[in-house]
Amino acid sequence: MKAKIPSGIFLALLSLAGADTGWAITLGLSPASQTITAGNPFDVDVVISGLHAPDPDEILSGYDINISYDASMLTATGVDFGSFLGGLSDSLQDPDFTTAGLFNIFEVSFLSDLDLDTLQGDSFTLATLHFTAKTAGTSALTITNADLTGFSDLSTTFPNPLTVDQYANSGVTVEPRTAVPEPASWALMGAGFIAGLAHKRRQRAARGQHFKNIG
Amino acid sequence: MNNKTIPKFLLLLLLIITTFFAAESFAAVCDVDGDLDVDKNDISVISAARGQTASGPSDPRDADHNGTINVYDARACTNQCTLASCAVALPAPNVVGQTLAAAQSAITGAGLSVGNVDQSPSDTVPSGSVISQNPAAGASVALGSAVNLVVSTGPRTAVPDSLSLTPSQFVIGAGHTIIVTAQVLDNGGNPISPAPNVNYQVQYDPDLTQGTAPVVTGNQIGTSPDTRGSFTVQGTVEGTTVTSQFTFTVIQNATQSRNSGLLVTLAAAQTKLVQNLDVIAKAMENGDTAAIPGAMGELSAAAGSLNVNALSLATVYEPDAGFVPPISKIVGRYPSTAADTNFASLTAQVRTKLQQIKQLLNQPSDNEAADTATLTQYATDLQALFDQLQLDANRPGVYGLINKAADINNLLIKDVPQVMLAVINRVNVQLQQAGLASLQQGHPQTMYAFAGQGGQSPMQMYASTRPVFLLTGLLGYGGHIGELIQKIYGDFLDQVQKMYILLAAQGLLNQFLTQTAQVAGLQTGGSFSFHAYHMFDSIIEMTGLSLAAAQTADVFLIGGAAVDAVDGLIDQLKSIGSIRSIGDLYDFYNGMLDALDDAQEAYDTAHQQPSSVLLTGFDDFGCIASGASRCVELHYDNGFEYVGSGPVNLQPVIILVRTNDPLGAQFGSAIFNFAGQ
């Protein structure tokens, strides 16, 4: 109820030049890609990062996120929520993956902003989504909608939206189930493995050069 | 006649309530299941409805009233949860009258725990049985929470056990008298009636006081015009060793220092207002209208004793800490400590830093970015100094405080106002650059010139200029920095703060708000401010109120005229006791009608609706008062109608906004007056 007048004026003066903010809050799915054999389960983490990039820090106090996937290839089987919004005792967790092709996760914290600020770091895992690969092919995992709440306005208790600067989606390649290799084919596999390593090293070197150019 | 009287009387009651205080309401929003609390059951329902369209503006699931139920509503409602972790409430069992063992069993059986068990005598409850419980039976409590019990020790004994003393004032102007109210209590903490006599004695340290010692007459402690300092009154129940004591401070009287006099009046008025608001609230709850006129009379007297004009900006406030003993009387009695030395050094550094800030604000360079960086650094430095001052190692003792009393006074009455003036000036420049204010039409410095040096009167000032000014900082001129200073200088400043008229006024408002939070059903909030009248493009800025609520809200500006009208009616009401004839009765009713008409007129005038209501943000050059990211602005294109009392243009006013939005009942407001272009 108190008017916070002078602080407003004072803060206004302090920010005369405007702050050069390099906000970089990213909401992403991890790993970025993975290859699964049909019939096997696999997990995808929903991760937020960069909460401490803004000054002052941001927090995540609630979220409602939709992730789409190819229902012809994948089946959603469950979700484990993280503990950074308070866990089961201090948050409401309400997932919905009954609609094929859409995985909705919803969580709202019962903790105060201050407690969340203490609990949360720059990045953490919101939830781990469980899938089972059904048939071969490639499916994108895409965040199609994300409503995130951050700090609340002290006077109104209404939460402010937490703006995501960047989304990082994921994909999964499902390989057909294959027969157990014959002993004679082990040598061939070994050769392929070595070739794969060499390719990865070249990729890494190329990426390093790319970063260097940017910097 | 009665048909006309009763509704107006009720209207007036409402006016009185809204004049003196504002209320917070209880949240129906978020209480989706209507069980009078907000818990995880409610959040669960909101969560399940996410994505749906709200059923209407009163849909409790749509906390932000944007028409859609989503995670923002869920989070807004978790912020409103009644219990920690949004726990689901259980009703506390009724164990009053049960034996302690049975009560303990009932409590644990209900999923709760037994908290403190206190004992108290009772004439009606047998020894060993529960007299009372807290929380009360049926109250909503969280699973596992404690229920405190009071268990009877049997019939009470009317033997004095303790003494409670309540002085009429703790700070008093020299020459005035303190009246002490005593309660002699038995071993159960209950007053003994008839009360035994209490004898009083004044104790004091001659080195820490000055002038004629206070004199005891019965339960009155009289002071002389030359009395200064702190005195202790000890009361002893006659014929016993039961004693109690309190300390009071004598400062300059009003006839010598306007502000200490104001303070004395204000402190006394504040006490009376608080007491009588409570009486009225209870009477209204109980439907006991007989108790109301008396309490209203007291309220009127208390309000009447407040010099509202003197509380305006034009008041020259002169903090008066009463008698500060010379340091020579302290040396030897109170040793200087390392903390005293640290405090002195840090205080000097704070003063230097404030002066640097003032210098930078008054004489900025051409490089605004560099200035901003420097200012930010100064603010950081200042905060670091304040942080250090709060450490125990730097908290001064008596020696340190008295040794640096002059520095502290200068810091409060000179450095801080100067910095605030510099801030206001700088903001004014910013406003001018933004096209929000005119360069030619006055300057806030004009007011400060008056306030600080006895310049032209406000009337002359406003007659000759149409000043562009920000009134918003007024109550907070001790504000951001002032708050820090108070926080840091701690107990000593508690005394000085009482002299700080404007802050004291804010304290009064806070008391109103605290008290009125107990009156259910009123959805009114507001704040104390000052404003001028008939200034084009005046704005009330409000935080904590949604646009929808603001658009349908009733806005009242309660000023001196409303207080006068209430006074008039109460005076008339009080004359009912002197009716002795038909003629008297006739005169009484005529007087009542006149007073009611005046009250109605004051009420109508106070009700001032804005020309337009805007939702804006700090980034859009709005919300300047609060610095909030979003706020609502009530625009008055033609300024405010005069609701004051007396000839001073700039007057204190309580802004009240009544809204049907329960969540919107807690908000702050501030007034801007901009001169029209």
Put simply, whether A153 touches B (Cβ < 8 Å) is: yes
Burial label, B503 (beta-carbon count in 10 A; 0-12, 13-18, 19+): buried
Q: Nearest by CB to B71, from A1, A90, A108: name it.
A: A108
pLDDT given for residue B11 in this prediction = 30
More confidently predicted of A132 and A209: A132
Rounded Cα distance, B205 and B398, in Å: 14
CA distances for A120 relative to A59, A84, A113, A126, B81, angstroms: 7, 6, 10, 11, 21
| DSSP collapsed to 3 states, B560-577 | HHHHHHHHHHHHHHHHHH
Rounded Cα distance, B475 and A5, in Å: 8
B652 has pLDDT over 90: no
CB B60 within 8 A of CB B551: no
Which helix (H) or strand (E) segment holds residue A179: the answer is none
More confidently predicted of B311 and A94: A94
Residues of B in contact with A158 (CB under 8 A): 63-64, 72, 76
Helix (DSSP H) and strand (DSSP E) numbers for chain B? 18, 21
Percent of chain B residues past pLDDT 70, beyond the cut:
50
In chain B, the residue whose alpha carbon lies closest to the alpha carbon of A156 is: B544
A56-91 per-position pLDDT tens digit: 778 999 999 999 999 999 999 999 999 999 998 899
Put simply, whether A202 touches B (Cβ < 8 Å) is: no
Q: What is the pLDDT confidence band of residue A28, given thresholds at 50, 70 and 90?
A: very high
Beta carbons of B70 and A147 less than 8 Å apart: yes
Instruction: Choose among B34, B145, B24, B148: nearest CA to B85.
Output: B145
Q: How many CB atoms lie within 10 A of CB B107?
A: 21
Rounded Cα distance, B400 and B404, in Å: 6
B238 has pLDDT over 80: yes
A46-60, B448-462, B530-544: least confidently modelled range: B448-462
More confidently predicted of A209 and B33: B33
Which helix (H) or strand (E) segment holds residue A63: the answer is strand A62-68
Q: Which of B280-289, B339-348, B562-571 reaches the highest mean pLDDT?
A: B339-348
Put simply, whether B481 touches A (Cβ < 8 Å) is: yes
CB B594 within 8 A of CB B509: no
Backbone angles phi, psi at B71, to 5 degrees: -65, -25
Q: Which of A192-196, B132-136, B272-276, B310-314 reaches the highest mean pLDDT?
A: B132-136
Q: Cite the beta strand spans of B92-219 per DSSP E.
A: 113-120, 130-134, 140-142, 146-152, 162-167, 171-173, 177-185, 198-203, 209-210, 215-217
Q: Which of A158-172, B287-301, B330-344, B599-613 reaches the highest mean pLDDT?
A: A158-172
- For an interface test with B, the pick among A58, A108, A147 (most B C-beta atoms closer than 10 Å) comes out as A108
Q: Which of A155-159, B28-32, B246-250, B540-544 reaches the highest mean pLDDT?
A: B28-32
Average predicted confidence (pLDDT) for chain B: 66
Helix (DSSP H) and strand (DSSP E) numbers for chain A? 4, 12
Q: Nearest by CB to A108, from B75, B373, B529: name it.
A: B75
Q: What is the pLDDT confidence band of residue B424, given thresholds at 50, 70 and 90?
A: low
Residues of A in contact with B479 (CB under 8 A): 4-7
Put simply, whether B547 touches A (Cβ < 8 Å) is: no
Angle between helices B258-286 and B480-499 (to 10 degrees): 90
A33-63 per-position pLDDT tens digit: 999 988 889 999 999 998 887 667 789 999 9
Q: How far is B543 from chain A (nearest CA, A)?
A: 7
Beta carbons of A92 and B371 less than 8 Å apart: no
Token output for A162: 């937490």
Rounded Cα distance, A34 and A14, in Å: 48
Q: Nearest by CB to B375, from A14, A86, A159: name it.
A: A14
pLDDT given for residue B130 in this prediction = 93
Beta carbons of B473 and A92 less than 8 Å apart: no
B157 has pLDDT over 50: yes
What is the Rg, in whole angstroms, of the alpha carbon atoms belonging to chain A?
Answer: 22
- For an interface test with A, the pick among B44, B66, B70, B72 (most A C-beta atoms closer than 10 Å) comes out as B72
Token output for B189: 């903490």
More confidently predicted of B590 and B144: B144
Rounded Cα distance, A81 and A46, in Å: 9
In chain A, the residue whose alpha carbon lies closest to the alpha carbon of B48 is: A94
CB B516 within 8 A of CB B23: yes
Q: Nearest by CB to B627, from A1, A7, A111: name it.
A: A7
pLDDT given for residue A83 in this prediction = 92
Q: What is the pLDDT confidence band of residue B413, given thresholds at 50, 70 and 90?
A: low
Q: Could you tell me how far CA A182 lies from the centroid of its own chain? A: 40
A150-162 per-position pLDDT tens digit: 988 766 678 888 9
Instruction: Choose among B509, B520, B604, B606: nearest CA to B556.
Output: B606
Put simply, whether A124 touches B (Cβ < 8 Å) is: no
Token output for A5: 């007048």
Query: What single letter denotes the amino acid at residue B73?
Result: D
Residue owning tokens 């506390």? B92
Backbone angles phi, psi at A197, to 5 degrees: -60, -45
Put simply, whether A11 touches B (Cβ < 8 Å) is: yes
B534 has pLDDT over 80: no
Token output for B305: 């004793």
**Going edge to edge, which strands form the sheet with B554-558?**
B524-531, B651-658, B554-558
Which helix (H) or strand (E) segment holds residue B263: the answer is helix B258-286
Rounded Cα distance, B551 and B548, in Å: 5
CB A133 within 8 A of CB A38: yes
Residues of A in contact with B529 (CB under 8 A): 3
Rounded Cα distance, B8 and B589, in Å: 13
